C-alpha cells in the first residue's frame, strides 16, 4: 500500500486550517487562550474611541499627576514666595533641570528642598518621597498649593499648625503607609512606590484606571466585528458598581470619620459619593440615579451647562411622578418647578483654600433656603 508522505499531510492540514480560519464568522473570537490582561496605554484606545479620547484630553483626569519638571507646573510657583508664618517661615520657589525646589532662607539659607511631583488639577499640591529610618519611605505633602480658583498660592487643606517634629516637616505634612500609597494610587493609572521611586508609572487618570487593563479587550476588538462589552460597559453595571468605582478615589462613607459623617461639614462637598448616598434622590431612585446620570466621565464638567444639569433633575422627577402618581406632589418643587434646581438643592460651596467650585452632592432642601 502506498503511503502519503508526512510532509504532504502537513501541507493539507495547514491549507484546510487557513480555509477554516478565513471562513470563520467575523463575530467569533479565535480560540486562543487569553493571557492575564495587561495595560496598553490610552494611545491604543484611540483606535476605536477617538471621541472619548479627545474629550479626556480636556478633563481634569488628564492632568492629575505630573513631574515638577513640567514647565506648566513650575510656572505656577517659580519666582513666587509664600509666608507660612511661624514656625514655618517664608517659602521661595525656584527651578532647575531637576525640577522644582523650595527654600526657607531665614531658616536654611540657600539649602534647597526638592519638590518632585504635582498632584491635582483645580488645585496643585506638591509631593516628595523621602527616606525614613522607621517607615523606609514617607511622602511629604508640601504646605503650599497652587489654587486655580484664585490663581495664587495658598495653604494646602489639612496641613497641621503645630510645631513640626522634624526639619523636613517645616515644609509640610508627613504621610506614610496606606495614606501615602493612596495619594499616588488615586492620581495615576499605574504606579507603585518602591523606596523613593515610583515604578511602572503611568501618570494621570487615563482610560485603564477605570476600565482596567485593556490588552484582552483590544485583542478581541481587533479579532471581531462585535466584541463583548468591556468593564463599565457591561450590561450588569449598576449604580452600586459605579459608586464603588468612583468612590474608590472620590471617597465613600467608609473613608470618612463618624464625626464628619454626623456633622457633615461643608468640606465634605469634595467627596461627592458621600453626599449622594444620603440624598433622597438617590435612595428613592431604586438604583436609577448614578454618577453618570449627570456626568459624562470622559468630558470635563465645565462643558456641561447648568441647563443640562437641570434637565436631568426634571426628567428624573417627571418619571417618578408618572410611575407613582400618588407621590407627584412630593417630587415637583413648589418653589421653582422648572429652574434653579442646582443653585437651591446642591449649591457650589466656598471651601477653605479650595475656592467655590465644589457642589454639595447631598441633594436636599437646605436649612438656609
Q: What is the pLDDT of residues 61-101, one digit of tens each?
A: 999 999 999 999 999 999 999 999 999 999 999 999 999 99
pLDDT at 320: 80
Cis bond leading into 312, ω under 30°?
no
pLDDT at 327: 65
Q: What is the pLDDT of residues 33-53, one digit of tens each?
A: 556 899 999 999 999 999 999
Same domain membership, residue 271 and residue 177: no
Same domain membership, residue 70 and residue 191: yes
Q: Domain for residue 284, yes or no?
A: yes
pLDDT at 367: 79
Domain that holds residue 301: 238-359
The model's pTM is 0.84
Same domain membership, residue 164 and residue 248: no
Would you place residue 350 in the very low, low, confident or very high pLDDT band (cuts 50, 70, 90)? Answer: confident
Q: Domain for residue 369, yes or no?
A: no
Determine phi and psi for 301, rounding to 5 degrees: -65, -25
Determine phi and psi for 198, rounding to 5 degrees: -110, 115
Q: What is the pLDDT of residues 138-183, one digit of tens each?
A: 999 999 999 988 889 999 988 988 899 999 999 999 999 999 999 9
Distance CA 78, CA 92 (A): 8
Q: Domain for residue 352, yes or no?
A: yes
Would you place residue 226 in the very low, low, confident or very high pLDDT band (cuts 50, 70, 90)? Answer: confident
End position of a domain, from candidates 176, 203, 230: 203
Same domain membership, residue 196 and residue 70: yes
- Count of structural domains within the chain: 2
**252 has pLDDT over 60:** yes
End position of a domain, from candidates 203, 224, 247: 203
Q: Domain for residue 299, yes or no?
A: yes
Q: What is the pLDDT of residues 333-348, one digit of tens each?
A: 888 988 999 999 999 9
Same domain membership, residue 254 and residue 144: no
Same domain membership, residue 243 and residue 197: no
Same domain membership, residue 69 and residue 195: yes
Distance CA 126, CA 171 (A): 10
Same domain membership, residue 277 and residue 179: no
Q: What is the pLDDT of residues 275-332, one digit of tens each?
A: 999 999 999 888 889 999 999 999 999 899 989 999 999 998 888 877 777 666 667 8
Task: Confirm if 45 and 56 have CB atoms less than 8 A apart.
Answer: no
Same domain membership, residue 269 and residue 182: no
Same domain membership, residue 279 and residue 178: no
Same domain membership, residue 274 and residue 191: no
Same domain membership, residue 198 and residue 89: yes
End position of a domain, from candidates 178, 203, 228: 203
Amino acid at each position: 500500500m502506498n503511503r502519503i508522505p508526512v510532509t504532504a499531510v502537513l501541507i493539507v492540514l495547514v491549507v484546510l486550517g487557513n480555509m477554516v480560519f478565513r471562513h470563520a464568522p467575523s463575530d467569533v473570537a479565535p480560540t486562543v487562550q487569553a493571557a492575564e490582561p495587561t495595560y496598553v496605554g490610552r494611545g491604543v484606545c484611540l483606535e476605536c474611541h477617538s471621541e472619548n479620547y479627545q474629550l479626556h484630553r480636556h478633563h481634569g483626569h488628564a492632568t492629575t499627576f505630573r513631574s515638577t519638571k513640567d514647565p506648566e507646573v513650575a510656572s505656577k510657583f517659580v519666582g513666587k514666595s509664600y509666608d507660612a508664618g511661624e514656625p514655618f517661615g517664608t517659602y521661595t520657589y525656584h527651578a532647575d533641570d531637576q525640577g522644582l525646589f523650595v527654600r526657607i532662607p531665614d531658616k536654611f539659607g540657600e539649602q534647597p528642598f526638592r519638590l518632585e511631583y504635582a498632584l491635582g488639577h483645580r488645585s496643585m499640591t506638591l509631593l516628595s518621597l523621602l527616606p525614613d529610618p522607621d517607615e523606609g519611605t514617607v511622602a511629604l505633602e508640601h504646605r503650599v498649593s497652587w489654587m486655580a480658583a484664585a490663581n495664587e498660592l495658598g495653604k494646602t487643606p489639612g496641613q497641621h499648625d503645630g510645631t513640626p517634629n522634624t526639619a523636613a516637616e517645616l515644609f509640610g505634612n508627613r504621610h506614610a503607609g496606606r495614606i501615602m500609597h493612596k495619594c499616588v494610587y488615586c492620581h495615576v493609572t499605574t504606579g507603585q512606590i518602591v523606596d523613593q521611586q515610583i515604578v511602572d508609572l503611568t501618570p494621570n487618570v487615563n482610560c485603564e484606571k477605570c476600565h482596567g487593563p485593556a490588552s484582552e479587550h483590544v485583542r478581541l476588538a481587533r479579532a471581531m466585528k462585535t466584541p463583548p462589552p468591556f468593564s463599565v460597559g457591561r450590561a450588569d453595571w449598576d449604580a452600586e458598581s459605579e459608586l464603588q468605582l468612583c468612590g474608590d478615589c472620590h471617597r465613600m462613607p467608609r473613608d470618612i470619620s463618624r464625626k464628619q459623617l454626623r456633622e457633615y461639614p461643608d468640606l465634605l462637598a469634595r467627596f461627592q459619593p458621600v453626599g449622594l448616598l444620603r440624598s433622597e434622590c438617590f435612595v428613592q431612585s431604586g438604583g436609577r440615579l448614578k454618577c453618570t446620570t449627570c456626568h459624562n466621565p470622559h468630558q470635563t464638567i465645565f462643558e456641561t451647562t447648568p441647563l443640562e444639569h437641570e434637565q436631568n433633575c426634571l426628567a428624573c422627577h417627571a418619571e417618578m411622578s408618572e410611575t407613582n402618581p400618588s407621590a407627584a406632589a412630593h417630587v415637583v418643587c413648589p418653589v421653582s418647578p422648572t429652574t434653579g434646581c442646582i443653585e437651591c438643592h446642591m449649591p457650589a460651596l466656598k471651601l477653605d483654600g479650595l475656592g467655590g467650585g465644589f457642589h454639595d452632592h447631598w441633594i436636599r432642601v437646605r436649612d438656609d433656603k
